[in-house]
Structure 1
Amino acid sequence: MIESGDDIAAREVLGTRLGYLLKHAQMRLAEYAGPALARFGLDARELAVLAVLAADRPLSQLEAARRLGVDRTTMVALVDALEGKGLVERRRSEEDRRRNVVELTEYGTQVRADAEVAREAAERAFLAPLDEKETAGLMKALRVLATEARAEAPPHP
């Protein structure tokens, strides 16, 4: 595809905007991860749910939703989809009979492990233009922005 001078100028102006760069980097990452995870019948959000549910103890849907930063309605839909695929199951908590927990099935545990290997390979391919130091710096900066930035409320104009 041949770009016009206007396309190049627009990309240069937008290329100074954090939101634009983050969005387009995420879109490029999805181009790598999407096909890798599709082999397992998953998308990135579903794999994130499986990863959270693989915690050291069974979690309720609400606990998992909090860890993922999604609302309850979205979490119900995600768990419903994963349950329909035979990857998770809901059951009563042994500690608190009023509470339901969601756990990976044996099949879900294996699919998660295999999909994580594919995700890691896709991420390595996406990050290939960066050297190890640049990759580590990017990951560190993103962790700070994802965690520390949430601790403080954004300034209001």
Structure 2
Amino acid sequence: IPEWSFPEASVKAGFFDSPLLVMCLVAVIGLLSMANPRTERIFDFIFWLVLGLAGLIIAFLWFATDHSSTKMNLNILWALPTHLLVFWRNRRTELMDNYFSGTAILAALTLIFWKFIPQEMPTPAIPIVILVIVKGLWRRYWKKERPAKIWDVA
């Protein structure tokens, strides 16, 4: 098996080109989008779609392939593939309220136990996990429209 050696980066990454800054900006944009229902709808559509796709990729690499480096990837705790089932949903139902409550609780538990998880979780993901918590609780408890019945899925 050949060993590869990679040269050291000649330019050190600074704060302004760091993933943490990008994720903080995404989180701030997500929080600001909550002030306007239209921008919130657009942001939420993209946000939950991207998180769902990330979760689907994590699940696929974990369960459907033989990549040892992606086994037991616990980032799936906050990037759930099930977000793909709800990313287009704007209408509140009891089922959606319960889904987003569960998502917020799971993300909060992930954040609380971040340092104790047996995998090194990426620090730049923390603002996104916080945004998942805020968005989940926002959709459950503070959004103005009244929830429809659980069987009203339209």
Instruction: State if a TM-score over 0.5 links the two structures.
Output: no
- Where is the strand percentage greater, Structure 1 or Structure 2? 1
Instruction: Report the TM-score, using the length of structure 1 for normalisation.
Output: 0.26
Flag the structure with more relative contact order, 1 or 2, with Cα contacts below 8 A and sequence separation at least 6. 2
Instruction: Report the TM-score, using the length of structure 2 for normalisation.
Output: 0.27
